[in-house]
Structure 1
């Protein structure tokens, strides 16, 4: 995360370390979730090129992929129902039909395809083909990675202080 000196923006005065932490709290919290998603994504992606002893078994890959889909869906549902509506009161980035929510829709379209395929593999309708998992992941990889970074940046101290007072920041959800 950025230091307090880089958090100042335009005509705003520099932040103390304590105020920076208050303004940056949501970004740090979000980064923790996003780091988990990146790690799991990378493990799945790597497993697409490996089979047998070096990589995940087919069963492990299916379970990890389904867990990833479920956790990311839950994460986005919580954001859309509980966090974004509060932030949207002052921050245009979190209003409907704006980039962050548009990215959610694109990500979910890809997640649905991946999840459907993995469920078919889990119940034996399909044999797991790692190249198919990779193809499905590549279908929404770019928007996912951009979103993970952009959302954290938007919640960072430099941006949040433009819209919220310190007292308001302390009361925001998350």
Structure 2
């Protein structure tokens, strides 16, 4: 017995070192390699005036419609803020203007979601209704077979523009319902009440009108479509 052992003390029998872990977890430290930053998109040669007109066509046509929507919304909202209808506009005309805005926006967004967004979404995530590859043509612009069954379904994910559509229509539908009840004389129009309803979707509408035109601008479109493809996009 060793001189250091106390009488009656148990002698340890396992003298082997503990086994090393098969797959030790690496610990990040100051010497760890930093993540690579995404490289900026390469600069493209300047467009000729004719090329710019072709690539910017959708943005210009969209802005034409959007300016009308801005003016209609601003006319209604300004009247609510100042508590005074525009000069020469009767109560009936004022209510009809609000209902007309809701009807035009409903039709405009329906056309976009049915025809324009699916077409642009084949190449541009800004207009894509679902996550990449979900329901989109595998062949890109030229079309192709849709992703078939057997694979793991990808969760649908709205793009920002479509999310804005939803927010706009939630508030706009409530506003239109209020105006219809006022028109049918179920209640009297109160500009303060109308303002509160318009405020719930107005900022998103104005943001959407600007953002959609920017996303259709020539510098974005040229990175995804050829001149011939641009000419073929209906508007």
- TM-score, normalising length: structure 1: 0.91
Q: Which residue of 2 aligns with 1:42?
A: 74
Report Cα offsets for 1:33-90 as digits up to 9, x if no partner: 0000001111111222243684633212110000000001100001000111100111
* Structure 1 SS opposite 2:56: helix
Higher percent of residues as helix: 1
- Which of these two proteins has the greater Rg computed from alpha carbons? 2
Contact 1:113 1:136 in 2 (8 A): yes
Q: Per chain length, whose mean CA-contact separation is higher, i.e. which structure has more relative contact order (CA < 8 Å, sep 6+)?
A: 1
The ranges of structure 1 where at least 4 consecutive aligned residues each deviate by more than 6 angstroms after the TM superposition are none
Contact 2:79 2:85 in 1 (8 A): no
Q: Which residue of 2 aligns with 1:4?
A: none
In the alignment, is residue 68 of structure 1 matched against residue 101 of structure 2?
A: yes
- Root-mean-square deviation over aligned CA pairs: 1.4
Q: Which residue of 1 aligns with 2:45?
A: 13
Gaps of at least 5 residues in structure 2 are 1-40, 130-157
CA distance 1:72–1:91, change in 2 (3 Å) = same
Q: Which residue of 2 aligns with 1:6?
A: none
- TM-score, normalising length: structure 2: 0.68
Report Cα offsets for 1:92-142 as digits up to 9, x if no partner: 011110100010000000111111000110111110011111111111111
Contact 2:181 2:187 in 1 (8 A): yes
Aligned length: 166
2:170 to 89, 102, 109: 109
